[in-house]
Amino acid sequence: MSIVLPIASMPHTAIRRAMRACLAILLLLAACDAPPPPPGPSEGTFPSVERPVANIIASEFSDEASREQVGEAAEVMDLMQIAPGDVVADIGAGNGYYTMNLAARVGASGRVFAEDIMPDTTERLEKRVSAARLDNVVVVLGTPEDPGLPARSLDHALLVHMYHEIENPYALLWHLRASLKPDATVGIIDADRPTREHGTPSWLLACEVGAIGFSQHAFYRLGDGKSYLSIFKATQPRPKPLDIQPCRSAP
């Protein structure tokens, strides 16, 4: 594109205005040819974990008989003070070992939300719940980032032997927090070993959960000698996703 101006016959002010107009046109044309800038992070962007995420183990491999023999569910429910009438979420419910025990503990006046992200798993669990005629259990199909539970509804939430499999725990815990009552507890059961070995070091768990505004309320070694129960409560404001500080995978 060429622009011809009769410069010799124009006053100095007119020349300057014409030059500025030409420059503006050239800059506009250059901007049209330039590639668009890369998109920045949005308000809903969560940081990724800086450590391995374990593969999901199919629920049918869970050995309920051995867990029942050591009284794992009863021990955990006692330590978390889960009582009749409570509303509890079993996050990553799998084949329903904890769901069945929780339903018996909270009774007809309570409720259990049995959540999982695998459609086949929730379908099997619905059949099991229906066969047992558990009217106080609601099976929920969630997503890897959001369990999809009612706001401010839970007295307790349990994540049992699956935290190391969560694709983005910051996102899941952030959404789960909206479902908790003000004094609710979150109990996480895991083995104290690297995440790639289907466990979570207890210091790393406290750091990652703490990044969402939770504080560790209690910590117990369980009777099987391999697992721990870490109990958290929300004590700080829930951060914006962009403000969450990810934890490093080593001290």
Amino acid residing at 95: N
Q: Are 81 and 60 in contact (CB under 8 A)?
A: no
pLDDT in tens, the chain (251 residues): 444 445 445 555 555 565 565 555 544 555 455 455 444 444 568 999 989 999 876 554 456 666 666 788 999 999 999 999 999 999 999 999 999 999 999 999 999 999 999 999 999 999 999 999 999 999 999 999 999 999 999 999 999 999 999 999 999 999 999 999 999 999 999 999 999 999 999 999 999 999 999 999 999 999 878 899 999 999 999 999 999 999 986 54
- Closest by CA to 243, choosing from 84, 41, 98, 52, is 41
In this prediction the pTM is 0.80
Question: Backbone phi, then psi, for 119, in 5-degree steps?
Answer: -55, -40
Token look-up 């409720």 returns 111
